[in-house]
Amino acid sequence: MQTTRMYLILICCLLLTGCVKTKILDDIELIMTYGYDWDPAAETYKGTAVSPLYGKSEQMEIGGNFRYSGSAKTFQDISSFIQTKAPYQVEVGNLIGILFGEELAKKGVSDIIYGINEDPNIGRDLNVAIVEGEAETLLKQDYNMELTLSRFIEELINNNSKSNIPKMNLHDLNYRLTGEGMDPFLPILRQSEDSIDIAAIGMMKDDKLVHEIPYEQFFVFKLLYEDCEDHTYEFDWEEKKRTVAISSIRSTRSIHWKSKKEVVIKADISGTLTESKNMGVKNFQEKIDIEQAVSKKLEEEGTKLVKKFQELDIDPLMIGASAKGKFRDWTVKEWESQYPEIKITPSVDFNLDLSNIIQ
């Protein structure tokens, strides 16, 4: 009886594997990146799809890219229109990036996001970014790269998410768009003559781009947003007329509520002095002086950043979500009226590791 049952299970498994639809790589168009722009004159979305040029197998990328473009009023219509230009069946299961042009980002990206979410073939861990200017222009330019364009953008965002900017994939973006007491942000890509870099972080109010923070503020923003590890910070010590480079920075971030209208964002930091122009750290007193000066500078920069967020009525640091978890009577309506006026104080405690001290 047991043997018969085992044979039946084995036969069923073999039959089920035969039901899977086989797709030959040479017969499909693997779209890796989609770019979207807004055409205000026609009041339509413009979509640009990028497919890599492979060698004999999917793993053998040879650096080339196919591009397809189309315009329509919805995400699905753009995809259908692009299919009319592709010689093979368009597949989005390998999609790794979504880019929004600057004008579309300012108008609002929710319509496109909702369309993407309706496609079960698209994963939620793909990267999302904004482009200075048009996404189509960035995606259609040829670059001197060893990787395909889609892989380059993926590696650029993923590696910077480990150091310079907080991670924000499609799953995170969806959570921010639907959650209470929070707003999303996205990296902003900039194209140069032969490459692409991350120029800024775009702060959003709901689904619209309203502000950008430059590279100089990346570290402070990440410090206030999440725990950090293995970062570098260059500190201009104006009082001593010195420039200090601190590396191997590790930090932990926590939020402490004093009342409904007063909160402290605390960041405990440690790092190593790796470069000091003019002279090293002479003694422990100078170590203390550097620690206090760095802490004060980061607190000042953090305060400016927080005040700008409150002025724009955006909450990328998720202060509202923290308040919701802290106070049982929290409501969205009350929070939205109070947020611009509550007292938010960044508190930084920097500890310089015992290294490079002369005496």
Residues 210, 227: Cα–Cα separation, whole Å: 25
The verdict on 199 and 247 lying in the same domain is no
The verdict on 208 and 232 lying in the same domain is no
Where does a domain end: 180, 214, 248?
214
The verdict on 48 and 143 lying in the same domain is yes
Where does a domain end: 214, 245, 279?
214
The verdict on 201 and 139 lying in the same domain is yes
Determine the pLDDT at residue 189. Answer: 98
Determine the pLDDT at residue 20. Answer: 46
Residue 358 domain-assigned (yes or no)? no
Residues of the chain with pLDDT under 50: 20-25, 55-60, 279
The verdict on 36 and 182 lying in the same domain is yes
Residue 3 domain-assigned (yes or no)? no
Determine the pLDDT at residue 157. Answer: 96
Where does a domain end: 214, 243, 260?
214
For the chain, what is the domain count? Answer: 2
The verdict on 250 and 127 lying in the same domain is no
Summarize the chain as % helix, strand, coil (round to 5).
35, 35, 30
The verdict on 202 and 253 lying in the same domain is no
Residue 189 domain-assigned (yes or no)? yes
Residue 284 domain-assigned (yes or no)? yes
Q: Among positive and negative, which fits the CA dihedral 100, 102, 105, 107?
A: negative
Q: What is the CATH number of the domain that holds 312?
A: 3.30.300.210
Tell me the residue range of the domain where 263 lies: 227-352
Residue 51 domain-assigned (yes or no)? yes
Residue 7 domain-assigned (yes or no)? no
Residues 103, 210: Cα–Cα separation, whole Å: 11
Determine the pLDDT at residue 4. Answer: 64
Six-digit token pair at 164?
Answer: 């310079």
Count the residues in the chain: 359
Determine the pLDDT at residue 37. Answer: 97
The verdict on 189 and 236 lying in the same domain is no
Contacts of 316 (CB under 8 A, 6+ apart): 182, 183, 184, 185, 203, 204, 221, 225, 309
The verdict on 59 and 202 lying in the same domain is yes
Residue 19 domain-assigned (yes or no)? no
DSSP annotation of 150 reads H
Q: 151-207, pLDDT tens digit by residue?
A: 999 999 999 998 889 999 999 999 999 999 999 999 999 998 789 999 999 999 999
Six-digit token pair at 32?
Answer: 């890796």
The verdict on 65 and 186 lying in the same domain is yes
Residue 103 in contact with residue 132, Cβ under 8 Å? no
The per-residue DSSP string of 176-224 comes to: HHHSSS---EEEEEEE-SS-EEEEEEEEEETTEEEEEEEGGGHHHHHHH
Q: 32-72, pLDDT tens digit by residue?
A: 999 999 999 989 999 999 988 764 444 445 557 889 888 98
Determine the pLDDT at residue 229. Answer: 87
The verdict on 174 and 235 lying in the same domain is no
Residue 220 domain-assigned (yes or no)? no
